[in-house]
Amino acid sequence: MYNRNLRKPSPNKNIFKFASKKNHHIILCESALEFDACFHLEFSPLIVTFESQPIGIEYQADNKVRRYTPDFKIVKDTGEVEYIEIKPMNKSH
């Protein structure tokens, strides 16, 4: 497992900051679409907390170590944990 660091400056990425009252801190997002999703997560009564770019996983594929980090980890009011991806419709096929 590993952590991605969105605080590290990059000339190729715009980082969006969402002030979350639910989480009591700033949520960093990699896209405007993820930023918009924060509003849904923030105001959903079914979601207790959410986290952007949670701990990622490493796995083997094609004799290489690959990395994957979901866009969000959410914890529901039932205690259930989900990992979700936020993608534009044209990339969700």
pLDDT in tens, 44-64: 999 999 999 998 889 999 999
Give the CA angle between residues 17, 19, 23 to the nearest 5°.
120
Beta carbons of 39 and 22 less than 8 angstroms apart: no
According to the model, what pLDDT value does residue 10 have?
A: 66
Nearest to 3 by CA among 49, 51, 57: 57
In this structure, what are the phi and psi dihedrals at residue 28, rounded to the nearest 5 degrees? -95, 135
CA 16 centroid distance within chain: 12
Reported as a pLDDT band with limits 50, 70 and 90, residue 90 is confident
Reported as a pLDDT band with limits 50, 70 and 90, residue 14 is confident
